[in-house]
Amino acid sequence: MYRFGRSLMKIILVVFGGGIRTINRNHLAKKHNGYVVVCTHKTWIDVVALGIAMKPTPLYYMAKKELFKSKFTNWLFTSLHAFPVDRENPGPSTLKIPQKLIKKGKVVGIFPSGTRSVENTGLKRGAFVIAKRAGVPIVPAVYNGPTSLKGLFKREKITVVFGEPINLEDYQAKEDAQVVLQHIQDTFLQLEKIVER
């Protein structure tokens, strides 16, 4: 279902939208079977765009638990590689599920809001903890493009830019968390400038 959905959405974005441009795809952590991608989050379109930009690597991503309430949406989002997270009261599964996926060689996507927003620091911190415990790097990514169907059908260009992997081997789990979070934030801003050129 995931591959079919990704291929279908790519066709839709190319035919009805302005297509997708990917920059610095060579920064994806090819030396690691599993890793964490942290991408800015402005709209549902950025989740789709990141999945397409990473092709053929499948992306597994956190989604708010409310999306899994009905049997149909639970089946739909699960089949699209999403797993539920309670963002208000994150429990042990917030760490366990992505760590199990990474151990299996999967790539986990985490989407804090925006590039300049200080909100959702917990998600960035979660990305650090998950990656640190799993012994894998974090790859920052920025989405730039339409934030609604209206913008999509106006054929606004979609761009996904990847930053260099952040290797966490030299960072301590607790002491250096804020240093890594700031690094991620600074990288988001740098990648945005690349898009704006």
Rounded Cα distance between 88 and 56, Å, is 33
State mean pLDDT over 18-29: 88
Residue with tokens 């599920």: 97
Assign 3-class secondary structure to 70-110: CHHHHHHHHHCCEEEECCCCCCCHHHHHHHHHHHCCCEEEE
State mean pLDDT over 6-32: 84
Nearest to 194 by CA among 164, 161, 169, 172: 161
Q: Which pLDDT tens digit goes with each residue over 127-180?
A: 888 899 899 999 999 999 998 888 888 888 899 999 999 999 888 766 788 888
The two three-digit tokens of residue 139, written as one number: 């790859």
Q: Could you tell me which residue, 174 or 103, shows the higher pLDDT? A: 103
Specify the pTM.
Answer: 0.88
